[in-house]
Structures are given as structure tokens and as C-alpha cells.
């Protein structure tokens, strides 16, 4: 049964339409962002294993789970991502001068221009749609696939730009899941080709590679430092360092608490902030190395339901589980 939860003040006003920030206003401040300096700032994604591992994790979590059907659906999406990642030609290397300029101005190195300049994106998306096994999926998902395949290339790219910007049209959410899946493949590949040494902190809760929002906070096991904490990007899969006990949404170190639920794995908690009333999943990968930010965020949905009752809003973004 539920435990720990306490009452919180009323939630803040509705979020702005886009989840992306205007980076021209930001002034990177590593001290404020809290980079510890003793651990690698980023770990770039490994697209060759990322999606297959995620599919396996989802399939393992599904049997008997209250969200079994949805976990299997996302497992089918992740399997299709693994197939197209392995078979579609990767995106071209980003323009070096553009990368240098963006780094100089403290901006994420990849942008919507990366997407608009990628001639292979549409082929990746349509290949993913063709690869998907939706035999057990709800009718809405099958209709979304048919609708996307029937749409023009321009319409698919326009929707992809909206998903990249974090401004998902509510009447096209089922299509957005498939578009996001293709974006994850392309941006994981693009991020994997960046030079990790050129990446710098941008702002709290902003991926230094692509500007995406984190899906979850992860205490990792793969650095020599004890219990180093990273955020995992919802779009490109990059992990970037974020100091512990600091809100990922507003940067406050005050009023941070951690909660779990008996019916959810003890290795998955939520980190809540009473300054901005947001929360994010907090995964103890150092205790359970198989935890996957996207898969285990969905599998721990019971935590979302419970913490929402107490007035907290989600700071994390899971593009395959838009709630």
C-alpha cells in the first residue's frame, strides 16, 4: 500500500505550450547548475544496444503488470527502433562550424535544424512504421500508423518538428508516439557522434546534446565516483551529470524529498520539489543495473498516480508515454 505521502500546496498554473526553452536568454553557469567536476559530464548514447535493451526490459516487466498491454506495445516500438537503427543509413555528421558556434553560445549542439537537414529522417520514420507489429495494439494506434503513412512527407516533418520542440498536438498524440520513436533513433545516432569533450552545461534539466527534457534521474554505477547522479534525455538518450538533491526543473536545493511505494520496485522513487511542485522519477541503477529510464518510468506508473494526488506535476518527459 501507499506510504510516505504528505499533502502539498496547490499545483502551479498550466505549463507553457512548448517544453523547450529559449536558449538565447540563457547564460550557462556551471556552478549554479552544479557540475561536480569529479565525474564525466556526459555519457553519450549507444544506439546499437539502446533500443534492443529497452525492448527486452519492457517485455520482462510486462507479465502481470497493470499496464501489461501498454508495456508490450512500447516493447514493439522499441524493437522496431532497434531494427531501423541497424538498417537505415545514419544521419550525416553535423556541420562543424554550426557545432562550434552553438558551443560558443552555450547552446545544445543539436537543434531542429539537425532534423530539418536530415534527408534520412522520413525514410527512418516510414521504415519504423512498416516494421511495427501492431497486431495486439489498440485500434487508435493502427489508425495512427495508417494516417502517418498516408500523410505527406511535409506533414510528417512538420509533426516531427513539433514533437522535437516539445509542443505535442493533443489531437495527434497517437501519431506523436511513432514520430518520437523515429526522432529518438536519429537523435541518438547524432548525439553518439558528438565529441563528449565539447559538451558543456546548458541549464538545469536541459540536455546538452539536443536540448531535450530529462525522462528520469538516475544514480548510476558506471563511474568511479560513489552514487553519481545523471539525468537521462527523453529524446537522444544522453546522460548528463546533475548534482544530487537539487530540483531538475527549477534548480532549488530546498524542499527536496524522495518517496517510494510498496507496490513499485524499491529501486524506483520520485524526487519531489516543494519550491516548484514538480517531481521526477529517480532510478537507483547502482542497485539495479538493468533499470532503463524510459521502460521503468512506464512500469512505475503507480508512483505518478499517487504523487499527482498530492498536487505535484511531472517534470520528466517520456515521449513514448505521454501523460
Q: Which residues of the chain form contacts with Zn ion (CB under 5 A)?
A: 207, 209-210, 212, 233, 235-236, 238, 247, 249-250, 252, 273, 275-276
Q: Closest approach of Cβ 112 to Zn ion, in Å?
A: 13
Q: Closest approach of Cβ 84 to Zn ion, in Å?
A: 19
Select 247 or 261, whichever has its Cβ closest to Zn ion: 247
Select 144 or 209, whichever has its Cβ closest to Zn ion: 209
Contact between residue 40 and residue 196 where contact means Cβ atoms under 8 Å apart: yes
Q: What does 125-191 look like in DSSP terms, one character per residue?
A: HHHHHHH---TTS-HHHHHHHHHHHHS-HHHHHHHHHHHHTT---GGGHHHHHHHHHHHHHHHHHHH
Q: Closest approach of Cβ 41 to Zn ion, in Å?
A: 13
Kindly report the number of other CB atoms within 10 A of residue 3's CB atom. 9
> What is the spatial distance between Cα 36 and Cα 40, in angstroms, rounded to a whole number?
9
Give Cβ neighbours of residue 203 (< 8 Å, ≥ 6 apart): 21, 23, 26, 28, 33
Select 131 or 310, whichever has its Cβ closest to Zn ion: 310
Select 238 or 300, whichever has its Cβ closest to Zn ion: 238
Contact between residue 249 and residue 205 where contact means Cβ atoms under 8 Å apart: yes
Give CA torsion, residues 229, 318, 323, 179, to 10 deg.
170
> What is the spatial distance between Cα 28 and Cα 200, in angstroms, rounded to a whole number?
8
Contact between residue 250 and residue 276 where contact means Cβ atoms under 8 Å apart: yes
Select 233 or 307, whichever has its Cβ closest to Zn ion: 233
Select 53 or 131, whichever has its Cβ closest to Zn ion: 53
Whole-Å CA distances, 112 to 27, 181, 245, 268, 313: 20, 16, 32, 32, 27
Select 223 or 275, whichever has its Cβ closest to Zn ion: 275
Q: Closest approach of Cβ 277 to Zn ion, in Å?
A: 7
Q: For the purposes of burial, counting CB atoms within 10 Å of the CB of 105, is it exposed (0-12), middle (13-18) or buried (19 or more)?
A: exposed
Amino acid at each position: 500500500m501507499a506510504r510516505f505521502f504528505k499533502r502539498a500546496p496547490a499545483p502551479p498554473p498550466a505549463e507553457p505550450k512548448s517544453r523547450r526553452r529559449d536558449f538565447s536568454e540563457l547564460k550557462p553557469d556551471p556552478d549554479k547548475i552544479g557540475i561536480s567536476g569529479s565525474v564525466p559530464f556526459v555519457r553519450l548514447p549507444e544506439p546499437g544496444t539502446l533500443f534492443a535493451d529497452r525492448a527486452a526490459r519492457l517485455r520482462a516487466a510486462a507479465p502481470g503488470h497493470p499496464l501489461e498491454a501498454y508495456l508490450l506495445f512500447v516493447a514493439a516500438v522499441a524493437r522496431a527502433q532497434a531494427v531501423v537503427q541497424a538498417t537505415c543509413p545514419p544521419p550525416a555528421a553535423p556541420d562543424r562550424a554550426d557545432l562550434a558556434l552553438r558551443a560558443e553560445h552555450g547552446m545544445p549542439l543539436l537543434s531542429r535544424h539537425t532534423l530539418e537537414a536530415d534527408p534520412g529522417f522520413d525514410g527512418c520514420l516510414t521504415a519504423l512504421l512498416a516494421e511495427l507489429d501492431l497486431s495486439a495494439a489498440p485500434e487508435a494506434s493502427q489508425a495512427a500508423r495508417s494516417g502517418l503513412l498516408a500523410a505527406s512527407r511535409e506533414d510528417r516533418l512538420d509533426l516531427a518538428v513539433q514533437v522535437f520542440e516539445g509542443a505535442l498536438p493533443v489531437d495527434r498524440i497517437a501519431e506523436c508516439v511513432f514520430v518520437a520513436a523515429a526522432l529518438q533513433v536519429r537523435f541518438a545516432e547524432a548525439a553518439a557522434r558528438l565529441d563528449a569533450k565539447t559538451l558543456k552545461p546548458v541549464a538545469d534539466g536541459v540536455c546538452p546534446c539536443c536540448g531535450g527534457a530529462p525522462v528520469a534521474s538516475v544514480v548510476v554505477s558506471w563511474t568511479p565516483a560513489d552514487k553519481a547522479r545523471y539525468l537521462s534525455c527523453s529524446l537522444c538518450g544522453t546522460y548528463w551529470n546533475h548534482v544530487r538533491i537539487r530540483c531538475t526543473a527549477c534548480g532549488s536545493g530546498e524542499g527536496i524529498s524522495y518517496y517510494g511505494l510498496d507496490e513499485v520496485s524499491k529501486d524506483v522513487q520520485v524526487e519531489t520539489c516543494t519550491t516548484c511542485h514538480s517531481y521526477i522519477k529517480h532510478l537507483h541503477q547502482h542497485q539495479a543495473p538493468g533499470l532503463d529510464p524510459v521502460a521503468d518510468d512506464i512500469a512505475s506508473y503507480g508512483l505518478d498516480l499517487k504523487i499527482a494526488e498530492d498536487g505535484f506535476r511531472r517534470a520528466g518527459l517520456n515521449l513514448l508515454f505521454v501523460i
